Amino acid sequence: MKINKVGVVGAGTMGSALAQKFAQEGFEVTLADREMSYIERGLSGIREMLNQGVERRLFTSESVEKIIGNIKGTSNLEDLKACDLIIEAVFEDFDVKTNLFKTLDNIVSKDTILATNTSSFSVSELSQAVSKPERFIGVHYFFHAAKNRLVELIPGEKTSEQTYQAMKVFSVLSGKDAITTKDVYGFAVNRFFVPWLNEAVKLLDEGLASIAQIDKVCMRTFGIGMGPFALMNATGVPIALHAQRTLEHFGPSYLVSSLLEKQVESKNNWDCSGTKEAVVDEKITQKINDRMLGSVFFVCSQIIQEEVCTPVDLNRGAKIGLRWRKGPVDLMLRSGENETKRIVENFSRIYAESVPNVDATKWNMEFVTLTKNGKNAIITMNRPEDMNALNEDVMKQLHTKFTQAETDKDIENIILTGSGKAFVAGADIKFFVKNIKTNSIDKIENFTKYGQDVLNQIDKSEKKVVVILNGMALGGGMELALCADVLLSVPKTFIAFPETGIGIYPGLGGTQRTRERIGEGLAKYIVYSGKMLSSKSALAMGLIDGIISPSEMYDMLEGRKELPNKLTQNLSDDLKSIEQFFSEKSVAEILTNNSEEEFSVKMKKTLSYKAPIALILSEKLISQAKGPESELAELRTIFSTEDALLGLTSIGKKVAYKGR
What tens digit of pLDDT does each residue of 498-521 get?
999 999 999 999 999 999 999 999
Annotated catalytic residue 520: no
User: Residue 566: what pLDDT?
Assistant: 78
User: Residue 215: what pLDDT?
Assistant: 97
Tell me which H or E stretch contains 62: helix 61-69
- Which 3-state string (H, E, C) describes 597-629? CHHHHHHHHHHHCCCHHHHHHHHHHHHHCCCHH
Q: Residue 283: which CATH number? A: 1.10.1040.50
Active-site residue among 152, 479, 619, 634?
479
User: Residue 551: what pLDDT?
Assistant: 86
> Same domain for 328 and 375?
no
User: Residue 64: what pLDDT?
Assistant: 94
User: Residue 652: what pLDDT?
Assistant: 84
Confidence bin at 179 (pLDDT 50/70/90): very high
Average pLDDT value for residue range 384-409: 96
> Same domain for 643 and 564?
yes
Q: Is the pLDDT of residue 567 over 80?
A: no
Beta carbons within 8 Å of 616's beta carbon, 6+ residues apart: 587
> Same domain for 382 and 527?
yes
> Same domain for 400 and 493?
yes
Average pLDDT value for residue range 345-372: 96
32 is a domain residue: yes
Strand order in the sheet with 494-496: 422-425, 472-474, 494-496, 533-534
For all residues of the chain together, what is the average pLDDT? 95
The CA-CA-CA angle for residues 454, 455, 460, to 5°, reads 105
Q: Is the pLDDT of residue 219 over 90?
A: yes
pLDDT in tens, 418-458: 999 999 999 999 999 999 999 999 999 999 999 999 999 99
325 is a domain residue: yes
> Same domain for 595 and 446?
yes
Q: Is the pLDDT of residue 568 over 80?
A: no
Give the range of the structural domain holding residue 567, as residue numbers without chain letter: 368-648
pLDDT in tens, 188-210: 999 999 999 999 999 999 999 99
Q: Is the pLDDT of residue 594 over 90?
A: no
Beta carbons within 8 Å of 332's beta carbon, 6+ residues apart: 297, 300, 340, 360, 363
- Position with higher pLDDT, 655 vs 295: 295
Average pLDDT value for residue range 348-376: 95
% of the chain exceeding 90 in pLDDT:
92
Average pLDDT value for residue range 98-102: 97
Can you tell me the distance from the alpha carbon of 211 to that of 220, in angstroms, rounded to the nearest whole number? 14
Q: Is the pLDDT of residue 271 over 90?
A: yes
> Same domain for 333 and 397?
no
Confidence bin at 604 (pLDDT 50/70/90): very high
Q: Residue 561: which CATH number? A: 3.90.226.10
Beta carbons within 8 Å of 84's beta carbon, 6+ residues apart: 1, 2, 3, 4, 5, 6, 111, 112, 113
Alpha helices (runs of H) in 144-253, residue ranges in sequence order: 161-173, 189-205, 211-222, 228-235, 237-245
> Same domain for 493 and 556?
yes
658 is a domain residue: no
Annotated catalytic residue 479: yes
71 is a domain residue: yes
> Are 72 and 36 within 8 A, CB to CB?
no
Q: Is the peptide bond before 144 cis (omega within 30 degrees of 0)?
A: yes
Confidence bin at 593 (pLDDT 50/70/90): confident
Can you tell me the distance from the alpha carbon of 104 to that of 634, in angstroms, rounded to the nearest whole number? 65
> Same domain for 13 and 39?
yes
User: Residue 654: what pLDDT?
Assistant: 86
> Are 509 and 455 within 8 A, CB to CB?
yes
Which of 180, 197, 227 is the last residue in one of the domains?
180
Nearest to 323, CA basis, from 229, 446, 454, 225: 225
Confidence bin at 474 (pLDDT 50/70/90): very high
User: Residue 565: what pLDDT?
Assistant: 83
Average pLDDT value for residue range 574-583: 95
> Same domain for 292 and 439?
no
DSSP-assigned letter for residue 590: H
Confidence bin at 186 (pLDDT 50/70/90): very high
Nearest to 134, CA basis, from 117, 150, 157, 118: 157
Q: How many CB atoms lie within 10 A of CB 45?
A: 16
> Same domain for 354 and 378?
no
Can you tell me the distance from the alpha carbon of 40 to that of 358, in angstroms, rounded to the nearest whole number? 51
Beta carbons within 8 Å of 660's beta carbon, 6+ residues apart: 613, 641, 642, 643
% of the chain exceeding 70 in pLDDT:
100
640 is a domain residue: yes
> Same domain for 451 and 425?
yes
Q: Is the pLDDT of residue 569 over 80?
A: no
If one counts the domains in the chain, the total is 3
Confidence bin at 564 (pLDDT 50/70/90): confident
> Are 278 and 213 within 8 A, CB to CB?
yes
DSSP-assigned letter for residue 356: P
User: Residue 611: what pLDDT?
Assistant: 96
Q: Residue 13: which CATH number? A: 3.40.50.720
591 is a domain residue: yes
Which of 362, 385, 416 is the last residue in one of the domains?
362
Identify any residues that bridge with 86 across adjacent strands, giving them in sequence order: 7, 114
Nearest to 17, CA basis, from 61, 60, 48: 48
Active-site residue among 88, 499, 579, 631?
499
Confidence bin at 115 (pLDDT 50/70/90): very high
Average pLDDT value for residue range 289-313: 97
Which of 339, 362, 385 is the last residue in one of the domains?
362
Identify any residues that bridge with 30 across adjacent strands, giving them in sequence order: 7, 72
User: Residue 559: what pLDDT?
Assistant: 84
Spacing of C-alpha 233 from chain mean position: 26
> Same domain for 508 and 634?
yes
Average pLDDT value for residue range 256-270: 97
634 is a domain residue: yes
Q: Is the pLDDT of residue 300 over 80?
A: yes
93 is a domain residue: yes
pLDDT in tens, 19-42: 999 999 999 999 999 999 999 999
Q: Is the pLDDT of residue 1 over 80?
A: no
313: amino acid identity, one letter: D
